[in-house]
Every structure is written in structure tokens, then in C-alpha cells.
């Protein structure tokens, strides 16, 4: 072992000791410790992987990026995965690439009103027209309203598996196939969820993921686009990297590139370095090699993370049933095997004021969030956009008014859950 490797090993051991000492400190004091809605759970393995990439001195995507993408593809049961800088970027890239590949003359994309801007915005930004429909009691796109929205101007369907709860994706695919529509599955909050024993995100034309700290795994910031279409994969990669035509790895040591053809490309009547040929109007949505290194280690822990999320969800479901006169949880399809991103809670009693309840919980150090934008068409920035609305949006309106969510991430313990349940009990007993 050379001197550099010995020094690296000492660093690794030092980082490991830091995490062992940190984990030995009690991490929950009732009423004082914040119970967060989302938390990045990691240890020395991720930090040491990141340090190694920094010591190697290569920041742009290289071997770790390639390794992470391949590992993601295996996990998702898809052919191609492109690592990007955020889930929001993933949605924009996916739709832009589909637009270029399919060049649809039709301009409406069916999407639910209950949305996060990252899913809804690309539809407008890329010149499509949102065809807005309601959700059902699972918080997912209503199949009935989706069917009513399909018309001669429909190009595709773009939707989320809301909070990790799978939509009726098999049935959506049948509709899409019948009417020749593309599908973009926003799976940013559903990494590890299944429908009919198949991973969410492996059904549509393309699917998207987020690796923000609160999500299934984290790379700090980061995201991915997955597809089984090789041509679509190539367009996504070009769009991610400024529209660059060359697909050789940027750290290839061969002066002629991996293709051995770097200096033989022509523009007009002269040679031009293929690495500086741009065949798309692209973006810069590249993540870092150190993020890929972290993602590799996080992905190894995903099954354990998801197991804990399911355990926390089931415990909450059991305990919260005692408050059925005040609140309820979303329904789950029989074919679905969800890994919830967070725990959505719906107030079903008109005497309960959501604002008052949320203030109470937050003062108890129990963090809460609303379900993103609610009915996004009611948000100030969306009131004047051009869109079509098919049917009423009553469920989305209900969720906007009466829903919130709390954390069930792997950092949540049974002790914390017990404390939260007692807080709900205290509040609801005061309302009787």
C-alpha cells in the first residue's frame, strides 16, 4: 500500500469515528427535538466516497456517474438512466426530449390539478397546453377524468405517483396505447413503489426521479430520467450537456475520444472538434461526480430505507385510526405496493381548523407541510395560464383546503411516532 492510500485509509477511519460518536448521542428529546418532514440519512460510507472523488481531483461526471446510472437502471428495471442535477430538471429534460423525438402536432398534455410546480411547469414552458383533471381518493390522477379529457388534440399524459402512492399506471398505459399518447411518470417521490409487482417508473415513455435530501435516497441535490428508448436516452444526454453532440466520456484519456473519431467531424467544409459540435438547443443540467459517488452508497441502502418507511407508515396508520372522526389517510389501490414519501393526512371533520392544528403541531416541534401547490390553478402564478379543465376539481380543492403531511422517513423512530400520536390525542381531545 502506497503512502497516499495509507493517508486515505486514515481519513476514512477518522470519518467513521466521527459518525460512531455522533450516533451514540441520544437523538430525541420529547418536545425539544424537531421531528422533520424529511431527513437525509447517511453515514461515513457516503462521506468517504465523496472525499475519495475530491482527492481524485475530477469534478465532472466520470466513472462514478456511469456506475450510478447503471445501478439505477438495474434497480428500476429499465434500459437507460441519465443522472441530472435535480428532479425538476429531470421533468423538463424528459418532456423536451419526448417533444423532439415524437414532434407531436397535438398540444394538450393531460395532468392533474393536484401538483407540484416541477411536474406542471414544463408543460407550459415547452409550449404545450395543460389539460387539467382532478385526482381521486388516492391523491392520484382520476382515471375517469383522464378518459374524459382525451381528445383529438391530446399529445400525452404527465403525472405523479403522488407522495409515493402508485397511480393506476397499467390502466393509464392502456389508454395511452389506444390513443397513441406518450407518458411521463413523475416518480420523484415514489422510488421503490410498485404496481402489479413492477417498479413505478418502468411503465411510461420516460420517468423522473429526485434525490433531494427528503426523498428516497439523496445526492444532496440531484435527479434522474429513465427510459427504455435508446434514441430518447441519447436526446436527454445531449440536452443535459448543452446540446453537445459528442457522447464520449469527458474524462476519456484517448486523445481521439472513445469513438476514435473526435477530430474527423466536419462543419461545412472544415474539420471541427466533435466535442464542440452542438446538435440541440440544450441546457447545463449536469450533476457532479461526488454526487454520483454518494448516490452509489445511498442506493445500496434503499431497500432498508424503504422497509423503515413502510414500517413507519403502517404504525401511523394503525395508531391514527383512533382519530377517524377527525382525520383520514388516502386510499391505496389493491394492486399498489407504495413506499410513501411522507404521510398525507386529510381532515374530514368540518369543526377542525387546519391552520390551528398545524400551529399546534409545529409548536410541539412536529414539522408539517401542505401537499405542495394543492390545486395549482388557484396559485397566484398560474391563474392566467392557458389551459383546459376537464370536469370539476373538487378533490384537488378539498386537498388544498384540508390536507397536510408529516414525516415518515428512515430517521423517524417509534419513540417519535408515539410522541406525535400523543400530540394528536391532546389536540383532538380538546376539540370534543
Report the CATH number at residue 229. 3.40.640.10
250 domain-assigned: no
Parent domain of 300: 1-243+278-432
36 domain-assigned: yes
In terms of pTM, does the model score above 0.75?
A: yes
Of 248 and 36, which is predicted with more confidence?
36
Cα distance between residue 305 and residue 287, in whole Å: 23
User: 102 pLDDT band (50/70/90 cuts)?
Assistant: confident
264 domain-assigned: no
- 129-133 and 154-160: which strand pairing? unpaired
Cα distance between residue 105 and residue 397, in whole Å: 32
Task: Report, as residue numbers or ranges, the catalytic residues.
Answer: 215
**Is the pLDDT reported for residue 4 higher than 90?**
no
249 domain-assigned: no
In this structure, of 11-20, 161-170, 385-394, the range with the lowest mean pLDDT score is: 11-20
* Average pLDDT over all residues of the chain: 94
Cβ atoms of 164 and 339 within 8 Å: the answer is yes
Cβ atoms of 337 and 319 within 8 Å: the answer is no
Nearest to 290 by CA among 81, 71, 63, 54: 54
Cβ atoms of 137 and 330 within 8 Å: the answer is yes
The DSSP symbol for 218 reads -
Q: What mean pLDDT comes out for the span 82-90?
A: 98
User: 347 pLDDT band (50/70/90 cuts)?
Assistant: very high
**For 214-241, how does the pLDDT look when each residue is reduced to its tens digit (9 = 90+)?**
899 999 999 999 999 999 999 999 999 9
Cβ atoms of 185 and 162 within 8 Å: the answer is no
**For 24-54, how does the pLDDT look when each residue is reduced to its tens digit (9 = 90+)?**
556 789 999 999 999 899 999 999 999 999 9
**Is the pLDDT reported for residue 252 higher than 70?**
no
Cβ atoms of 373 and 115 within 8 Å: the answer is yes
95 domain-assigned: yes
**Is the pLDDT reported for residue 163 higher than 70?**
yes
257 domain-assigned: no
Q: What mean pLDDT comes out for the span 384-397?
A: 96
* Strand ordering across the sheet containing 343-347: 327-328, 343-347, 403-406
> How many structural domains are present in the chain?
1
268 domain-assigned: no
**Is the pLDDT reported for residue 57 higher than 90?**
no
**Is the pLDDT reported for residue 254 higher than 80?**
no
Question: What is the per-residue pLDDT for 23?
Answer: 63
252 domain-assigned: no
Neighbour-count burial for 314-349, b at 16+ CB within 10 Å, e otherwise: ebbeebbeebeebbbbbebbeebbbbbbbbbbbbee
Amino acid at each position: 500500500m502506497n503512502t497516499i492510500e495509507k493517508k486515505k485509509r486514515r481519513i476514512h477511519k477518522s470519518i467513521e469515528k466521527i459518525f460512531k460518536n455522533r450516533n451514540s448521542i441520544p437523538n430525541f428529546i420529547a418536545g425539544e427535538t424537531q421531528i422533520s418532514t424529511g431527513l437525509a440519512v447517511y453515514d461515513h460510507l457516503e462521506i468517504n466516497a465523496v472525499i475519495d472523488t475530491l482527492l481524485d481531483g475530477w469534478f465532472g461526471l466520470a466513472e462514478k456517474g456511469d456506475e450510478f446510472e447503471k445501478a439505477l437502471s438495474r434497480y428500476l428495471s429499465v434500459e437507460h438512466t441519465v443522472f441530472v442535477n435535480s428532479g425538476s430538471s429531470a421533468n423538463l429534460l424528459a418532456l423536451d426530449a419526448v417533444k423532439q423525438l415524437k414532434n407531436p402536432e397535438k398540444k394538450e398534455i393531460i395532468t392533474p390539478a393536484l401538483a407540484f410546480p416541477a411536474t406542471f411547469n414544463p408543460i407550459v414552458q415547452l409550449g404545450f397546453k395543460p389539460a387539467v383533471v382532478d385526482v381521486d381518493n388516492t391523491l392520484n390522477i382520476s382515471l375517469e377524468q383522464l378518459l374524459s379529457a382525451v381528445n383529438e388534440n391530446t399529445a400525452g399524459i404527465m403525472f405523479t405517483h403522488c407522495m409515493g402512492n402508485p397511480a393506476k399506471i397499467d390502466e393509464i398505459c392502456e389508454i395511452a396505447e389506444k390513443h397513441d399518447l406518450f407518458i411521463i411518470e413523475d416518480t420523484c417521490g415514489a422510488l421503490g413503489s410498485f404496481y402489479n409487482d413492477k417498479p413505478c417508473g418502468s411503465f411510461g415513455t420516460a420517468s423522473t426521479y429526485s434525490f433531494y435530501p427528503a426523498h428516497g435516497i439523496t445526492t444532496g441535490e440531484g435527479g434522474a430520467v429513465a427510459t427504455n428508448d435508446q434514441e430518447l436516452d441519447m436526446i436527454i444526454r445531449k440536452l443535459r450537456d448543452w446540446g453537445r453532440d459528442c457522447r464520449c466520456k469527458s474524462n476519456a484519456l484517448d486523445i481521439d475520444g472513445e469513438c476514435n473519431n473526435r477530430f474527423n467531424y466536419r462543419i461545412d467544409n472544415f474539420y471541427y472538434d466533435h466535442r464542440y459540435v452542438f446538435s440541440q438547443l440544450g441546457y447545463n443540467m449536469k450533476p457532479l461526480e461526488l454526487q454520483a459517488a454518494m448516490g452509489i452508497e445511498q442506493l445500496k441502502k434503499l431497500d432498508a430505507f424503504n422497509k423503515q418507511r413502510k414500517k413507519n407508515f403502517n404504525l401511523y396508520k394503525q395508531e391514527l385510526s383512533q382519530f377517524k372522526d377527525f382525520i383520514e389517510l388516502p386510499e391505496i389501490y389493491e394492486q399498489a405496493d407504495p413506499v410513501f414519501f411522507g404521510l398525507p393526512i386529510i381532515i374530514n371533520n368540518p369543526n377542525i381548523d387546519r391552520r390551528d392544528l398545524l400551529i399546534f403541531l409545529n409548536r410541539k416541534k412536529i414539522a408539517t407541510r401542505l401537499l405542495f401547490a394543492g390545486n395549482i390553478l388557484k396559485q397566484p402564478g398560474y391563474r392566467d395560464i392557458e389551459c383546459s379543465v376537464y370536469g370539476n376539481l373538487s378533490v384537488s380543492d378539498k386537498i388544498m383546503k384540508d390536507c397536510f403531511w408529516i414525516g415518515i422517513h428512515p430517521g423517524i423512530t417509534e419513540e417519535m411516532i408515539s410522541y406525535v400520536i400523543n400530540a394528536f390525542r391532546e389536540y383532538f381531545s380538546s376539540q370534543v
